[in-house]
Structure 1
């Protein structure tokens, strides 16, 4: 199989865009120690890793830049310099901002922009410090979601299982905004009991027809993962969302901390049934993000 699409990855040029979280030395994050990735990670490196496994296009997801518009403009320039690697992007924008319309106008002037991500939850410990969960109680957030949908923009949703039911109630009020659930909803408790709770909570989101699920970022909460250890997560997502609402994302270079691209892609190839692979590895991302993979 070739011409696949990686629906979730990051790039950064530390000389072009400032990323405060990435440049902070000696600080551990919920996914571990970022020291090995505190360096430039450019399209050339990512492309070499992904193309070797049959990927020919990708979706860049915002990654905590100090200035979201600067990041988006830089990514646009990268895409324009590499027309043989089709790439869409999801940008950061505060959907509660008073000048939201003007900000979205600026983002939508960039041809690669397909959607917005504003993180609702990363991990219980960090969320308690940042207060990001408060977005769900802010009526401006819902209004921003609805506005994004009216503009044809999607929303990339990152949260933890504890927030799924409440978030689903908000998303149900924005049915015209297509939503991509990042990292399968971040099942951070990998015990049998934890995965049971996650699977039950996930039903609140999988029951909404405008929500699609990404198989991505599973190494962040289980650094020594194996194909067998993530099997229940993959199988649950495929069962709840079905063939047409699941897509693969590497979450590189964050998940590169714990595995190579070949290991990651190979594990998912072995877990996703053959009859679903065309949709999960290409078709769903192409449709959701309006992206066509280059000929391999």
Structure 2
């Protein structure tokens, strides 16, 4: 990880993590015994940034009771050779190897990568099936589904690295041919998009009611670019889309991804990292709206590390979630922090 004390570049959707900046602030862990399944994180070693099992274990050691995690697609360790369609199988092989390392107990009490979500190019149409089958084999019982990012916006300040991706991919007939391969194989779909695209995912969910879909990062509410300074107006539009997609019983939601630059908060530019009270105050309207719309049995808190680490520590992010969840019953808290993730990703957790 970089240890620069300078604020991260604003050119991306998230700020680069800075360990020295984060170390300036710590706080006591709230409800430290509560079991947590972190259903969304990445592992990578590229571009001068490293977030692998050692870094993940160090974050987990900051005090929360993480019992298991789910690895999610981030183009790590693709095969360097062979047919292009099958290169993402390397990511599953990598993630499963990390899971085996974690299962030794030598890194953390948590079962890191207990579930694996990778990528298959669904624009292959029905030719996606053999790639999916290869990933099932590579996952050794841990592979649960794929993510094919559909995040797109015409404005580069919003889209960043996603600006060159296809527009309207979720509506593409060939993409849907590939999508149709998921349910027969018992696989789920993680959706990463921006909030103006939620309607496209709603259409997809209604067309494939038997496919389990996870809406990542609260549906990607935007607060940068042309959306900057328009939080109330944007929130109303985002909320309407959330309420509509929540009517699809096959869709669940991940509560997180809000510590990226995308939301428009400047925590990463401040001299000190935010407290969990500050983070909770910023994120509460989005998270409470999602819980109200989907219910606790279709919602789960996520770290989205390391992207969200650019604005707060692992300790702070889950403390913020616990502050937001304080109003809910014990059964609802259990669902939000662990049970919903275990059920959706069919995790084997002691």
Bin the TM-score by the shorter chain: 0.7 to 0.9
Residue 175 of structure 2: aligned partner: 141
In structure 1, the gaps of 5 or more residues are: 15-22, 24-37
Residue 7 of structure 1: aligned partner: 39
Distance 1:216 1:69 in 2: 27
Distance 1:162 1:207 in 2: 17
Alpha-carbon offset, residue 219 of structure 1: 1.0
Residue 218 of structure 1: aligned partner: 258
Matches within 5 A, 1:33-182: 38-51=48-61, 52-65=63-76, 66=78, 67-83=87-103, 84=105, 85-86=110-111, 87-97=114-124, 99-109=127-137, 110=139, 111-121=141-151, 125=156, 126=159, 129-182=163-216
| 8 Å Cα contact 2:147/2:190 also seen in 1 | yes
Q: Runs of 4 or more off by more than 6 Å in structure 1?
A: none
Distance 1:133 1:248 in 2: 29
| 8 Å Cα contact 2:75/2:91 also seen in 1 | no
TM-score where L is the length of structure 1: 0.86
Larger mean CA deviation between 45-54 and 74-83 belongs to 45-54
SS at match of 1:119: coil
Alpha-carbon offset, residue 122 of structure 1: 5.5
Distance 2:178 2:244 in 1: 21
TM-score where L is the length of structure 2: 0.73
Which one of 266, 271, 274 corresponds to residue 319 of structure 2? 266
SS at match of 1:177: coil
SS at match of 2:306: coil
Alpha-carbon offset, residue 193 of structure 1: 1.3
Residue 342 of structure 2: aligned partner: 286
Alpha-carbon offset, residue 214 of structure 1: 0.2
Matches within 5 A, 1:224-243: 224=267, 226-243=279-296
Alpha-carbon offset, residue 144 of structure 1: 1.9
Distance 1:70 1:213 in 2: 27
Larger mean CA deviation between 215-224 and 128-137 belongs to 128-137
| 8 Å Cα contact 1:57/1:292 also seen in 2 | no
The answer to whether 1:205 aligns with 2:225 is: no
| 8 Å Cα contact 1:68/1:92 also seen in 2 | yes
Deviations, residues 128-169 of structure 1 (Å, cap 9, x unaligned): 732333312311212222210111100000111111112211
Alpha-carbon offset, residue 206 of structure 1: 0.8
Distance 1:223 1:147 in 2: 41
1:91/1:202 CA distance change after superposition, 3 Å: same
SS at match of 1:175: coil
The answer to whether 1:195 aligns with 2:235 is: yes
| 8 Å Cα contact 1:62/1:68 also seen in 2 | no
| 8 Å Cα contact 1:164/1:204 also seen in 2 | no
Alpha-carbon offset, residue 188 of structure 1: 0.9
Distance 1:285 1:97 in 2: 29
SS at match of 2:99: helix
